[in-house]
Amino acid sequence: MNVLDYMKDHILFLDGGMGTLLQAEGLGAGEYPERWNISRPEVVKKIHQAYYDAGSNVVNTNTFGANSLKFGDEELEQIIRCAVENARAAREDSTSSGEKFIALDIGPTGKLLKPYGDLDFEDAVSVFAKTVRIGAACGVDLVFIETMNDSYETKAALLAAKENCSLPVFVSNAYGENGMLMTGASPEAMCAMLEGMGADVIGLNCSLGPQQLRPVALEYLRCSSIPVLFKPNAGLPRRENGRTVYDVSAEVFAAEVESLLRAGIRAAGGCCGTTPEYIRKLTELAGNLEPVPVTEKKVSRVSSYTHAVSFGKEPVLIGERINPTGKKRFKQALRENDIDYILDEGFAQQDEGVQILDVNVGLPEIDEPSMLESVVCELQTVLDLPLQIDTSDPEAMERALRRYNGKAMINSVNGKQESIQAVFPLVRKYGGLVVALTLDEGGIPAKAQGRVDIAKKIMAAAKEYGISEKDLIFDPLAMAVSADQNAAMVTLETVRRIREELGANTILGVSNVSFGLPVRDYITSGFFMAALENGLSAAIMNPHSFEMQKTYRTYRVLHGLDDNCAGYISFAEKVPFEQNPASAGRPAGGSPGTADTEKGISRLQSAITKGLKDQAAQVTGELLKEKEPLQIVSEEIIPALDIAGKGFEAKTVYLPQLLMSAEAAKAAFETIKSVMAGNPDNTSGIRKCPFVLATVQGDIHDIGKNIVKLLLENYGFDVRDLGKDVAPEKIVEKVIELHAPLAGLSALMTTTVGAMEKTVKELKEQAPWCRIVVGGAVLTEEYAREIGADRYASDAMETVRYAEEIYAGLEDRPESRS
């Protein structure tokens, strides 16, 4: 019998702890328990059998750490084969009458995934895949992924299970006292991701006792539309009369777990500290319980590695700014692989309160699949908002979805067969909430009825692919009201009817409505309010638009969604002066060139030396009305930077202060750049020569490198930051491509100095013109010389000084050319 069929009308009883029992049999601390499958099979079998005899329907093989990171291929195969044999022998000899299954147990690798650890996501998938393939070939009944404390590793394991066998997959996570995974995910976020990816049973185990884990279990029951499992510890361990005991007795344990079975848990057992006795007490108490039916929870959700965002109760704001359409500066960033600029767009929107970020990096001249994958990875490293993967390229979509740490929003599918066939298999495999556009081969229907019909058609197609209705959100398409004066009315009617007739969520890219009209924000925000009143669930919008923010905040107040109007009040406090006559007059400021007489420096220089970012940007904007960009750079920014830099060298200014100044200068430069974007002739005067910068292969530390980058950029160098963990050949390739006269290499760890040496050697051979400066915690002047570098820099300013020195000696400088 299939375990899932059995679960339809039975509660499934799982087994209890293994480690504690093996230790009682003499397993030493630090000894691998998996080896006992081979060396002490009788002990392992005895424990399995005791669980079956106590009423467990499932025993997990003794393979928690059986993976290719710990064992060689041959031993791994032998361990898993013997482990399954032991469980099988126990099943045959057990005297109990219940249905019995064998689960292939899979625990975490013990390695943290990149970017915080050093295990690559795909490598993790391969490690789990190997274990799954061996286990499946040995004839287990199900795969049981357990004690996972990182959402990303959980995803890798589940993906490996789904790709390498057709067995049912149970997934269980270990939550801390704060009710979150070690890497930050909430139960709701885990439910969204795992259910979306097609896990069969999900739940929690280990870490704490049943009572402490109760709130997490209840949260699973609230969110999950699939069966939930529960395998807590017997409380916490302590030493008593020379023995390790756990503080929750078998009786108390059974009673606690039984009450959760009554609340809806469908599979239960124990983890650390529980014994066959605990399972016996549990099956005695709960063996005859009627299972509570599992119900479909109709809430649409997406998730990040920390939290979920749900749709329906409150309107959801999705930031549209990570998109090159119509943005010269953004296109430039994409062409130059300037990921930081894109990340900045993400941070700025998060600050404005959006709950999800749309990510679109499609540009004809770039490799979109690689770019989308890397931008998604970078974004999820530095911010915790769920992402909306926005692309029409299925390859780009798959690569981004695969690497995404959570359940993504997907933009988009439409009623065309071609689109459905490309997108739905990806939604089925990776999970996701997919935006469905109400258009098809016949175009966009002019009437609401036509759009509702397409929505119904897409819904039916989704069902065929096994995609739940809750994982569709319909976009009835906002069209320019300047081209068709009924356009907005049709869209609004469609929003209302999809909500009422199909019970589904809707989304709009609201700004299209105002295309071709002056002061577009007024029309867009008016339309936004109308759409919200018609039941719109989410808007893809510009969060920097004051009118849109005003509409959103007002709507929340008027619809009773803003407790004590607190959200509105804090918004109102930030309303700019022009819109808010009640706020006190802002400081008048004086003209940007006005000198700060106290120190004999200008306002911009004062802002930079004091490290005031916003002020530096603002004053630069004002200065641009009076002065040429180059003049501002040479007369204002560089002298200000020099004040800070010299202070640092004289040790009157400390590193944090130097960095604050550098960031203020960067903000000033960014203002200048945005004015000059798309006009490359103007930038050559600011940019000095290329400087290729990287943290060497194997090293993942980049604080120092980032500091160097910031300062070099401020001094006008065209820094090409290749990131961290960069292979020598990649660095060489870039230096040759740009004929870069300077390269900077950083290494923190003793183990990666070898990679640095190799990089220096290859650079010297293939790009002998390039001067190499090295730095990082493990380096010394002497060592730098030994590995053949041209210069050792002990801090960022030293690197800048060296770069300036080399630059001054170059013959083909832009200035010397002109």
- SS3 (DSSP) at 157: helix
Does residue 264 belong to the site contacting other proteins (CB under 8 A)?
Answer: no
Q: How many CB atoms lie within 10 A of CB 396?
A: 23
Angstrom distance (rounded) from CA 507 to CA 473: 7
Options 24, 382, 446, 566; binder of other proteins; rule CB under 8 A: 382
- Coil, strand or helix: which one is 188? helix
* Residues contacting 809, CB < 8 A, separation 6+: none
Q: How far is the CB of 60 from other proteins (least distance, A)?
A: 15
Query: How far, in Å, CA of 202 to CA of 205, rounded?
Result: 10
Taking the least distance from each CB to other proteins, the nearer of 338 and 635 is 338
Structure tokens at 198: 């097609």
- Give the distance, in angstroms, between the CA of residue 7 and the centroid of all CA atoms in the same chain: 34
Per CB under 8 A, the list member of 2, 126, 244, 325 interacting with other proteins is 244
Does 237 contact other proteins by CB under 8 A?
yes
Question: Which residue of 408, 420, 707, 773 would you call a contact of other proteins, by CB under 8 A?
Answer: 707
Angle 802-807-809 from CA coordinates, rounded to 5°: 105
* Selected range binding other proteins among 116-124, 404-412, 575-583, 805-813, rule: CB under 8 A: 116-124
Terminal-to-terminal C-alpha distance of the chain: 82
Residue 674 touching other proteins (CB under 8 A): no
Q: How far apart are CA 596 and CA 593, in angstroms?
A: 9
For residues 511 and 326, give the distance between their C-alpha atoms in angstroms, rounded to a whole number.
Answer: 13
Is 72 among the residues that bind other proteins (CB under 8 A)? no
For the bound state, the minimum distance from the C-beta of residue 343 to other proteins, rounded and expressed in Å, comes to 5
| Identity of the residue, 153 or 440, whose beta carbon is nearer to other proteins in the bound complex | 153
- Of positions 172, 173, 183, 274, contacts other proteins by CB under 8 A: 183
Listed in sequence order, the residues at least 6 apart from 805 whose beta carbon sits closer than 8 Å to its beta carbon are: none
- Name which position in 53, 247, 340, 533 contacts other proteins (CB under 8 A): 340
Q: Which of 111, 416, 758, 813 binds other proteins (CB under 8 A)?
A: 111
Distance of CA 341 to the CA centre of its chain: 18
Pattern of binders to other proteins over 188-207, x per CB under 8 A? --------------------
Site string for other proteins, 781-800 (x = CB under 8 A): --------------------
Bond preceding residue 56 cis, omega within 30 of 0: no
| Rounded Cα gap, residues 453 and 455, in angstroms | 5
- 97: region left, alpha or beta (phi > 0 left; psi from -120 to 50 alpha): alpha
Residue type, 619: V
Among 99, 118, 533, 649, binds other proteins (CB under 8 A): 118
Q: Are 231 and 269 spatial neighbours (Cβ–Cβ below 8 Å)?
A: yes
The separation between CA 277 and the C-alpha centre of its own chain, rounded to angstroms, equals: 42
| C-beta atoms surrounding 474 within 10 Å | 27
Q: In this chain, which stretch among 225-233, 474-482, 549-557, 747-755 interacts with other proteins, using CB under 8 A?
A: 747-755
Q: Is 344 in the site for other proteins (CB under 8 A)?
A: yes
698 binds other proteins per the rule CB under 8 A: yes
Min dist CB 750 to other proteins, Å, is 8
Q: How far apart (Å, rounded) are the C-alpha atoms in residues 14 and 4?
A: 14
Please choose, from the candidates 615, 545, 607, the residue with its C-alpha nearest in 3D space to the C-alpha of residue 576: 545
**For residues 420 and 694, which CB has a smaller minimum distance to other proteins in the complex?**
694
Of 363 and 749, which has the nearer Cβ to other proteins?
749
- Which one of 339-347, 481-489, 678-686, 687-695 is the stretch in contact with other proteins (CB under 8 A)? 339-347
Contact between 714 and other proteins (CB under 8 A)?
no
CB of 741 to other proteins, least distance (A): 25
Place of tokens 């990570």: 322
Q: Considering the rule CB under 8 A, would residue 241 count as an interface residue with other proteins?
A: no
Near other proteins by CB under 8 A, which window of 290-298, 382-390, 407-415, 495-503? 382-390
Query: Taking CB under 8 A as the criterion, which residues in 598-657 touch other proteins?
Result: 610-611, 654-657
Distance of CA 524 to the CA centre of its chain: 31
* Binding span for other proteins by CB under 8 A among 125-133, 226-234, 340-348, 467-475: 340-348
Contact indicator for 202, 193 with CB cutoff of 8 Å:
no
Q: Which of residues 459-488 bind other proteins (CB under 8 A)?
A: none
- Of 48-56, 596-604, 705-713, 726-734, the window that binds other proteins (rule: CB under 8 A) is 705-713
CA angle 531, 536, 542 (to 5 degrees): 75
Pairing of strands 601-602, 595-596: antiparallel
Which one of the spans 143-151, 410-418, 441-449, 756-764 is the region binding other proteins (CB under 8 A)?
A: 143-151
For position 684 contacting other proteins by CB under 8 A, the verdict is no
215 interacts with other proteins by CB under 8 A: no
AA letter at 569? I
Separation CA 642–CA 651 (nearest Å): 14
176 binds other proteins (CB under 8 A): yes
Contact residue for other proteins among 1, 9, 29, 518 (CB under 8 A): 29
Using a 10 angstrom Cβ sphere, with 0-12 exposed, 13-18 middle and 19 or more buried, the burial of residue 182 is: middle
Minimum distance, C-beta of residue 351 to other proteins, in the bound complex (Å): 11
Per residue in 654-663, is it b (16+ CB within 10 Å) or e — as a string? eeebbbbbbb
Q: Is 534 in the site for other proteins (CB under 8 A)?
A: no
Classify 632 as helix, strand or coil. Answer: helix
**Nearer to other proteins among residue 379 and residue 461 (C-beta):** 379
* Alpha helices (H) along 308-447: 328-335, 339-351, 368-382, 394-403, 417-430
Could you give the 3-state DSSP secondary structure of residue 739? coil
The nearer residue to other proteins, 107 or 168, going by C-beta atoms, is 107
Closest CA to 451 of 440, 438, 434, 466: 438
**Of 752, 775, 800, 806, the one binding other proteins by CB under 8 A:** 752
- The answer to whether 178 contacts other proteins (rule: CB under 8 A) is yes
Token representation of residue 716? 């006008």
One of 400, 548, 710, 774 touching other proteins (CB under 8 A): 710
Stretch that binds other proteins, among 161-169, 338-346, 687-695, 798-806 (CB under 8 A): 338-346
Least distance in Å: CB of 102 to other proteins? 23
User: Which tokens belong to 258?
Assistant: 């039984």
Q: Which is nearer to other proteins, 150 or 562 (CB)?
A: 150
Per CB under 8 A, the segment of 138-146, 358-366, 460-468, 697-705 that binds other proteins is 697-705
**Is 150 a residue that touches other proteins (CB under 8 A)?**
yes
Q: Give yes or no for residue 660 binding other proteins (CB under 8 A).
A: yes
Residue 32 or 515 with smaller CB distance to other proteins: 32
- Only one of the segments 74-82, 84-92, 392-400, 750-758 lies at the binding site for other proteins (rule: CB under 8 A); that segment is 750-758
Pick 56 or 183: Cβ nearer other proteins: 183
Structural tokens at position 67: 């993976």
SS3 for 604?
helix
Assess 663 for contact with other proteins (CB under 8 A).
yes
Asked whether the beta carbons of 430 and 406 are under 8 A apart, the reply is no
For the four alpha carbons of 737, 743, 749 and 751, in that order, the dihedral sign comes to: positive
User: For residues 518 and 656, which CB has a smaller minimum distance to other proteins in the complex?
Assistant: 656
- Residue 136 touches other proteins, criterion: CB under 8 A: no
Residues forming the site for other proteins (CB under 8 A): 29-30, 108, 110-112, 115-119, 147, 149-150, 176-178, 182-184, 237-239, 242, 244, 340, 343-344, 347, 378, 381-384, 610-611, 654-657, 659-660, 662-663, 698, 702-703, 706-707, 710, 749-752
